[in-house]
Amino acid sequence: MAPRTILYTGKGGVGKTSVAAASARRCAAAGLRTVVMSTDPAHSLADSLGAPLGGEPTEVAPGLYGQEVQAQDEMERHWDAVSEWLGELLTDRGVDQISAQELTVPPGMDELFSLLQIKRHHESDEFDIVIVDCAPTGETLRLLSFPDICTWWLEKVFPFRSRLMAAARPLARTMLDVPLPGEAVFEEVERLATNLVAMNEILRDRSRTSVRLVINPDRMVVKEAMRTFTYLNLYGYLTDAVVVNRILPPEAAGGYFSDWRATQQEQMELVRSGFAPVPVLTAPHLPNEVIGAEALDLLGDQLFADHAVEQLLHEDLSRELTSDGNGRATLRLPLPFADRGDIDLKKAGLEVIVRVGGQKRTIMLPPALAGYETSGARFRDGALEVVFERASDERPAASG
């Protein structure tokens, strides 16, 4: 059976690494074969666990393994041929060798390669649960949206690459003096794209995988979490819990921290009402830094007193497509916290393109809707509803 996978993400500094490590220790204590892995380039998982970690899973306690994925190793495994071709191309154009090496990897790709370790663990059957300490939310969202782009390339570009290359080579040789990539480069890119699409299927399997947002009860952090929650729904990823960390205790209500606690309580009301029905897990501001087994276990006890870590805490679908059987279908896409004015919608063939703020999602409709046209859309109760109707020339004739 595929392992249960939990991705923890949040704004930098909210304690997501501590929460991920505490969750992993609790799972291992329950007898589950557990790996907790960091894909954040600024690794701090080893510090949190109090044990040295490397690019491969390292046992740090009975049944518990830690891993700080080394992006450079992953790039050499998945991007070597492309990097070599781009490096030669750049150095031939006068770019110094060191700069050329840096420019062969697009920004963010190193973290994307790190996420492929999730696919590896799903295929290995070594672990019952995979816990991921992700990069801060902005990076995570960019990476989670990338497999959609890969799907488009696999479907639209790669089937025609041989014809495109045959037509382009004479032009490149005679006019541009540009060496076109060899077959090894295309094979590597296609293999990477295929792996990313497979990883995407793992991450969107709502029966086994979920995202948990880690926040502090501070206004700016909560606002960012709301935007992140909207975008996760847009991309089709299940958020099964919100973790609120570092809540000031009741005794802080008087004295120096009274105003801060009052602000936190206001934000807690917003979190509970705004994210409902998604469960909200809470932990107090602990007196000491959360490092090492004892502190992590204390944090885990606070967060999961009423739930098992591996439990799927919320199961709502992020989108639904229904048909009434009479030439009419409705796509419903929950977009909590979005404003009507932030949403833009376009349909092209079987692709529905939804923009919310600065994020875009392309949703592929089933082939059965090829003959349908968009007849209307509305945003209500935090969800976008798009209505499709069979094209007029394809509607069945009325009987009688």
As a whole number, mean pLDDT of residues 39-53 equals 91
What average pLDDT does range 298-317 have in this prediction? 93
Q: Using 50, 70 and 90 to split pLDDT, how confident is the model at 291?
A: very high
pLDDT tens figures, 168-205:
444 444 444 555 556 666 666 677 777 777 888 888 89
Confidence band of 399 (pLDDT split at 50, 70, 90): very low
Q: Which two tokens stand for residue 335?
A: 């977009």
- pLDDT on residue 358: 78
Q: Could you tell me the pTM of the whole model?
A: 0.74
Average pLDDT, the chain: 80
CATH of the domain at 351: 2.60.40.790
Cα angle 80, 76, 4; round to 5: 125
pLDDT value at 12 more than 60: yes
Same domain, 124 and 261: yes
Domain count, the chain: 2
**Residue 185, pLDDT score:** 65
| Residue 342 belongs to some domain of the structure | yes
Residues sharing a CB contact under 8 Å with residue 323, sequence separation 6 or more, in sequence order: 329, 330
Nearest to 131 by CA among 259, 258, 288, 9: 9
Same domain, 216 and 271: yes
pLDDT over 60 at 163, yes or no:
no
Res 233: pLDDT: 80
Six-digit token string for 15: 């304690």
Residues 348, 256 share a domain:
no
Judged against a pLDDT cut of 50, whether residue 13 lies above it is answered with yes
pLDDT score recorded for residue 140: 64
In this predicted structure, which of 165-174, 193-202, 213-222, 254-263 has the lowest mean pLDDT?
Answer: 165-174
**Nearest Cα to 382, choosing from 315, 329, 316?**
316
Least confident interval from 17-26, 43-52, 374-383: 374-383
3-class DSSP state for residue 145?
helix
Q: Which has more pLDDT, 321 or 259?
A: 259
Please count the other Cβ atoms lying within 10 Å of the Cβ belonging to residue 45.
24
pLDDT score of 248 more than 60: yes
User: Are residues 386 and 339 part of one domain?
Assistant: yes
**pLDDT at residue 208, rounded to an integer:** 94
Same-domain status, 334 and 299: no
pLDDT at 85: 57
Identify whether residues 202 and 266 lie together within a single domain.
yes
Say what the pLDDT of residue 290 is. 95
The separation between the first and the last C-alpha atoms of the chain, rounded to the nearest angstrom, is 54
For residues 259 and 76, the model is more confident at: 259
Kindly state whether residues 46 and 143 are assigned to the same domain.
yes
Range of the domain at 324: 320-394
* Tens digit of each residue's pLDDT (9 = 90 or more) over 68-88: 988 666 666 656 655 665 566
In this prediction, residue 217 carries a pLDDT of 96
> What percent of the chain is modeled with pLDDT above 90?
38
Looking at the structure, do residues 294 and 357 belong to the same domain, yes or no? no
Is the per-residue pLDDT at 383 higher than 50? yes
How many other CB atoms are found less than 10 A from the CB of residue 77?
Answer: 11
Cis before 106? omega within 30? no
Q: How many CB atoms lie within 10 A of CB 171?
A: 11
Residues 260 and 326 in one domain: no
Asked if pLDDT for residue 112 goes beyond 50, the answer is yes
Average pLDDT over residues 254-276: 89
Interval 319-333 mean pLDDT: 79
Contact present, 343 and 384 (Cβ < 8 Å): yes
Does residue 226 sit within a domain?
Answer: yes
Report, as an integer, the average pLDDT of 268-281: 90
**Predicted local confidence at residue 251, as pLDDT:** 85
- Least confident among 101-110, 143-152, 378-387: 101-110
What is the distance between the alpha carbons of residues 236 and 205, in angstroms, rounded to a whole number? 10
In-domain check, residue 184: no
pLDDT at 19: 98
Residue 188 lies in a domain: no
pLDDT, average across residues 122-134:
94
Alpha carbon distance 24, 35 (integer Å): 7
**b/e per residue 119-140 (b: at least 16 CB within 10 A):** bebbeeeebbbbbbbbbbbebb
Q: Is residue 176 part of a domain?
A: no
Last residue of one domain, picked from the residues 303, 333, 358: 303
CATH at residue 37: 3.40.50.300
Q: Are 14 and 218 in contact (CB under 8 A)?
A: no
- Same domain membership, residue 277 and residue 137: yes
Claim to verify: residue 254 and residue 332 sit in the same structural domain? no
CA distance 195 to 236: 18
Same-domain check for residues 123 and 68: yes
For residue 397, give the 3-state DSSP assignment.
Answer: coil
Mean pLDDT of 32-41: 92
Average pLDDT over residues 342-364: 82
